[in-house]
Amino acid sequence: LTKTMVIVSACFVACWLPSHVHYFITTFQLAKNARFYGRLYRIVTYVALSNVCVNPLIYAFQYEDFKKAARK
């Protein structure tokens, strides 16, 4: 259980950190020509939303019965 939660937490941070950094940079104008909406915004948003797809895979591959069935 602990291993699964560490993996889920690490994936959460990896998926959402770029979005929060982008928001911070654009909100406080830390970069020249920083635009809130643009190509980078779409990319970091898709990365953040990919967390929804990654979580079920993590849980499935950590579940012993699923791994046994997948091997067969």
Rounded-to-integer distance, Cα 11 and Cα 66, Å: 20
Give the model's pLDDT for residue 12: 96
* Confidence tier at 8 by pLDDT (50, 70, 90): very high
- Per-residue pLDDT of 10-29, as tens digits, reads 999 999 999 999 888 888 87
- Closest Cα to residue 55, out of 8, 2, 5? 8
Give the model's pLDDT for residue 53: 94
- Closest Cα to residue 22, out of 33, 32, 11, 36? 36
Specify the higher pLDDT residue, 65 or 48. Answer: 48
- Per-residue pLDDT of 25-55, as tens digits, reads 888 877 777 667 788 889 999 999 999 999 8
Rounded-to-integer distance, Cα 71 and Cα 40, Å: 39
